[in-house]
Structure 1
């Protein structure tokens, strides 16, 4: 069996009964993580294990003429050197489209694509073996988004075939949305003001701190047990089984400790490589990426170019919008089709616009593959449409917040897909609340040597003493879907077992939900305490022995797996009360009015009528159910109409920034948020999610970008890819609304992604206000502010 170098965790989550829904109990993994005792996937160990490693392409695009592995195989300590020819089953996998080779076959399509994998007795041995592999490349010109869309514009400098990223062509997926009369001349004539803007979003990385890692252990039955840091155990299993040539019951996955995800672990990375090496050698194989490998080994946020055109009347009413979006999907499809659907359907923002035409397309290129990242297509769009809102407000001479409120959607409004918003949509209220929050004071603390440099942009580096510092304030609001969309069968499975242990009722919860830091295990325990009235709740390790919980993405796990746990706990309660009817002769109506609390069965008035220990006796109650949200449907391929999303969530931000306009330095002084969460199952955790999402939006606004030139990644390290530290993160006051969604468990809304949308354009709006510059691209760098 695999072992951990640090104590196992998350098994027991015992707390007083008051720690139910609406409370903020301590996270079971919190102290372990703070003390450094939490067992992450990179801590996995087996006494007989080998180390796996991949040879990756140094080119963005090239044909492979030959691969010579003889010298690597001859090196002492090397147990396996595998190419695509050694794969026992399918050579391709993919999250939505099986277009990505497990190991490159005859062509590499992005910088860092794996070609050969090695298993050795030590990481250094594997590294030396990798260095001895000789690959003969025929380097080809890399295809970027412009060439992918319009190769004829480039005059076929190279052969026409050189502008096809895949044999099927360069388009991954397109979605068209047509609402109202579109951009007809008659509609355009209704607008007194028309504003056109072009915007660009760079490639952002999820930048999780725990690199990709896992341990594959061969089993006696010829199968593989994989201990892995992932976001979706069952979809990993589904993709790997055809590659390994094994049935699902012989490819068993168990979740190991995950050091962050944010969408970057939704695709397979090293999982299948570790399993192939373990299968070939008959020994356990561990793979742990270094930071550079991590940048190459997972998908990133899609870079986007967007062209918006908005028309409005002189009194501030939006008339029409036309949007053209191009997303750089990189070398393989990953989640691009779904990202395209999100970008199109959410592309005009949380506004009522009678006429809308949106075209969203993802293209294949020879840039790194792009897929899921927090915000999932809606982040890029929010930067575009909110920039337009500010430009329109300025053109009309209106307050930017009041202009937004005037056009804000509400419950009953129609989206451009034709879907009616049938739950609270407090867009105008969120904007009002965030605007009315007290503003931070202008920095005026002084020391013996002048201003307190900690309060100035770049001040800690002693680069400024306050000269040229200007303050700006900006606002933004966004709309994000929750859950899987467009007809996907979105469900989650939960098993709940209630039994007597040590004289007390104890609940066991078993789901396949990936705990990636969002606090889902805490929430599941809270729900069981609420529904079954027990103090002790034990969480079984997440694995594929129970039905799928879906991905920890799309802000869906509290809704979906929380819903599954609630539904299953209710089934357990039904069995218990049925026992009470049989044992004590309770009338059906009386039994239906009873509740469970503190290990007792109570009447509505609080009278104890039974003890759970007595009802359970020696017969545990064990139930498993699947929970589904109401069905969605695919968007019409021509018009984009359809009930595509199950739920919407909204967040508004106000950013206050200080900008040194001479040096091009920015300090975000405050980033305030107002968000409707439906029901805060764990209020402290929700605030943490809003803070985390806002901080990632801050990173996209002013620092985070994977720099890709001619298809090659130039900054695959945390030295050169910058993420916000505590010194970059400002105070973040949060105003949290709880307007229940009648279709969701407890009325909750997924909360994790929405703050990532509006934080970026709010910060950019504030920088525009301070500098007067248009700033149509993120991230903003100093040279964008100084013209150097």
Structure 2
């Protein structure tokens, strides 16, 4: 068996110590920082083969021929497969639209598309064999932007669309279109004393997770396959994999392997089907591990966007209307583009109350790299633009930008542009007040008695300046993000909870299919079980498909939905344990008849604290087990003409203040501080909450000043597929991130909690841009900002 997937046991004190509200440490934390944790790329199996993928070297071309003979003749090669070798008639997959071929057929649609796969007894042998496959391409013109995608004579990226979105779009190269129309923008313009417009460009961001795509497929004796995989959604992978293999789902078993980050980039399949195909073809375990170069081609990215916004306001700063058009580049395949469009449009006004709205959002098919889910999921691009507009509007009105935001801030009861009321706390004005009230960092921190500390200056250790021409700027932003899946999606999770005696003490086991990708479910699940069952020892079972679906670890939903499922399952287990106790021991004490009995500290107690029995005596050699599905309240699709509808479940809000220092001569930026105030509803694990906010903030910083996948506009080839040329923030780039956590419970959610991880990614980016504008006086309508944008050499 692979060396991965052992249960995680968490023992912490007695009673409910380490329960809800405690800052519980991650049980895998020490292993990860010492390098001992087993990630999916570390897995091993006896007699294992290595898989390799041959990818297209061009972005759009007809495949004239594929010659695999030389690769097959290579010593050590066990199998080479192309599209023609696929075992069933199901040869495509996809999250929402099944438009992605398992291996390219007829033509390739983007640079790096999989064309063939190889299995060999050594990774270098597999790579050399893949390089020997001869593919003859006849290149075609590329579609790279809206103009080339929607022209009357535009080449179709997908010649034969048959998905359910085709009837709602004006051109086959548009994946999805969602308007949001409320009120009368034309009439509202007449009431506006000030109108500002802006054109904004948002670059393509990579999730840049540190653990590349990897997995191990092991053929089973019954003709099935067991896949150990780093993913975000086991059951979605299963739904897409099994039909391609020609197997029923119960013969494709999946176990979550160690995941080295995700951020949306593991929602789509990468090497899952390829590894399984090779394992079933060879009858041997097959491991595939992408290198960093290949990883840039092996997963979707954040949609680049072009956004046009118009805001109107009265002289006293009240918004009259918002009109916007948002164009998202979805790349060659649909992935999650329809849902990203829904988020960008429905949240396109931001956390503000405005009656008259006209927004259109579309996603394009192009020959650029496929784009899909990434932290913030459509709302990030919109927030960058609408927050720049709010600053522009404040400047025109001569008003403090925070005050303008506070005057228009939504609150509980506000109607969104979709017509849906916000029915839980929406403390937008309070978050802005709090973040503005935080103390500012000292000026000129680089100065000391010993001389300049260049680490605190723009340019850092490159030692480019000692403070000459350095200007400070301060900027603010606030954002709104939906929590959970929306637009009528059947969003649920499943939990199996078992309680028994082991080693002379009561033990609870929690089993879900939730993918732990670093967000902290491994602690929260145990905290819920301790709180509800009153036991000290909780074992978190490895996630796999032997339990019902937990949905995706995305949309800030897992603590809400899987946490809700665990809470409900624990409550049912508690009821069964108490019933068992009444049957076994109830005659000895009249309190057993009472409904208000608790489990606490491994004992059954009355609500007054009187101990009735030890749980070891109640359970004996019996076990109590419950599997429970849990759903949040239903949502509905947005109307495809007006965008009206109760499309979302819950909202999260975060506000940032950025303090930057800019060398205006060299165009270098140092972000000194990114203070954040966020409402989390209920901090189930305060330490983890702070970490999520700081992590999301840093990811927003990255797209503000450094992160962008560059695609050649002529060839549609990726120009910087490496961490040498695609830059992400290091510890030297990461500023101080003070966090002010507000806890205003949402009565609809378990424990009143609110999704956390995405909201800070929204507002950190526009806050940094606002601060750079304040320092330089430049308009800066694109992200990321580069030195040439600040020095006028772009």
Q: What TM-score range do you get, normalising by the shorter chain?
A: over 0.9
Task: Show the 5 A alignment for 1:140-159.
Answer: 140-152=140-152
Separation in 1, partners of 2:335, 2:116:
21
Q: Does 1:135 align with 2:105?
A: no
Q: Deviations over 1:546-601 (max 9, x none)?
A: 00000000000100111111100000001112223333157799632222111011
Asked if the contact 1:254/1:544 (under 8 Å) is kept, the reply is yes
Please name the residue that 1:517 is paired with: 518
1:752 aligns with 2:757: yes
2:165 match: none
- 1:364 to 1:647, Cα distance in 2 relative to 1, 3 A: same
Residue number in structure 2 paired with 1:283: 284
Moved over 6 A (4+): 586-589
Q: Secondary structure at the match of 1:451?
A: coil
User: 1:12 aligned to 2:17?
Assistant: no
Q: Mapping of 1:16-415 within 5 angstroms?
A: 16=13, 17-89=16-88, 90-152=90-152, 160=153, 162-168=155-161, 169-181=172-184, 183-184=185-186, 186-415=187-416
Determine helix, strand or coil for the equivalent of 1:176. Answer: strand
Q: Deviations over 1:308-357 (max 9, x none)?
A: 00110001000100010000000000000000000010000000001001
The alpha-carbon deviation at position 741 of structure 1 amounts to: 0.2
Contact 1:173 1:337 in 2 (8 A): yes
Contact 1:445–1:451 at 8 Å: present in 2 too? yes
Which residue matches 1:651? 654
Per-residue CA shift, 1:692-713, capped at 9, x if unaligned? 0000000000000000013100
Structure 1 residues 149 and 138, CA gap change in structure 2 (3 angstroms): closer
Deviations 1:235-277 (A, max 9, x none): 0000011100000000000000000000000000000000000
Q: Give yes or no for the alignment of 1:503 onto 2:504.
A: yes
Report the CA distance between 1:460 and its aligned residue.
1.6
| Residues in 2 aligned to 1:592 and 1:705: alpha-carbon distance in whole angstroms | 59
**Following the alignment from structure 1 to structure 2, what is the Cα–Cα distance between the partners of residues 659 and 444?**
14
Residue correspondence of structure 1 range 579-658 to structure 2 within 5 A: 579-582=580-583, 583-585=585-587, 591-658=594-661
Deviation at 1:465, TM superposition (A): 1.2
Residue matched to 1:422: 423
Per-residue CA shift, 1:433-465, capped at 9, x if unaligned? 000000000124545774222211014211111
Structure 2: distance between partners of 1:587 and 1:399: 67
- Checking the alignment, whether the CA contact within 8 Å between 1:140 and 1:162 is kept in structure 2 is no
CA distance in 2, matches of 1:387, 1:622: 53
| Cα distance in 2 for residues equivalent to 1:685 and 1:392 | 37
Cα distance in structure 2, aligned partners of 1:165 and 1:465: 55
* TM-score with structure 1 setting the length: 0.97
Q: Is the 2:149–2:366 contact (alpha carbons within 8 Å) kept by the matching residues of 1?
A: no
Provide Cα deviations, 1:168-217, integer angstroms capped at 9, x if missing partner.
Answer: 32010110111112x22x22101011111110100000000000000000
- Unmatched 5+ stretches in structure 2: 162-171
Where 1:659 maps in the other structure, the secondary structure is strand
Q: Does residue 741 of structure 1 match 2:743?
A: no
Corresponding pairs, count: 776
Q: Write the mapping of 1:463-542 to structure 2, written as runs, cut at 5 A.
A: 463-542=464-543
Q: What residue ranges of structure 1 are gaps of 5+ in the alignment?
A: 153-159
Partner of 2:168: none
TM-score (norm 2): 0.96
* Contact 1:496 1:623 survives alignment (8 Å): yes
Distance in 2 (CA, whole Å) between partners of 1:626 and 1:535 is: 25
Contact 1:148 1:165 in 2 (8 A): no
State the 1:163 CA deviation.
4.9
What's the CA shift string for 1:10-59, capped at 9, x where partnerless? 52111123100000111110011011110000001111111000110010
Asked if the contact 2:582–2:593 (Cα under 8 Å) also holds between the matched residues in 1, the reply is no
Mapped to 2, the partners of 1:107 and 1:24 lie a distance apart of 53
SS in 2 for 1:592: coil
Contact 1:148 1:363 in 2 (8 A): no
The answer (yes or no) to whether the contact 2:149–2:365 under 8 Å persists in 1 is no
Deviation at 1:512, TM superposition (A): 0.3
State whether structure 2 residue 668 is matched by structure 1 residue 675.
Answer: no
Write the mapping of 1:556-571 to structure 2, written as runs, cut at 5 A: 556-571=557-572
The separation in 1 between residues aligned to 2:449 and 2:278, in whole angstroms, is 64
Asked if structure 2 preserves the Cα contact closer than 8 Å seen for 1:41 and 1:213, the reply is yes
Kept in 2: contact 1:446–1:452 (CA 8 A): yes
Does residue 701 of structure 1 match 2:700? no
Preserved CA contact (<8 Å) 2:146 2:364: no
What whole-Å deviation, never above 9, does each CA across 1:670-705 have from its counterpart, x for those lacking one? Answer: 000000000000000000000000000000000000
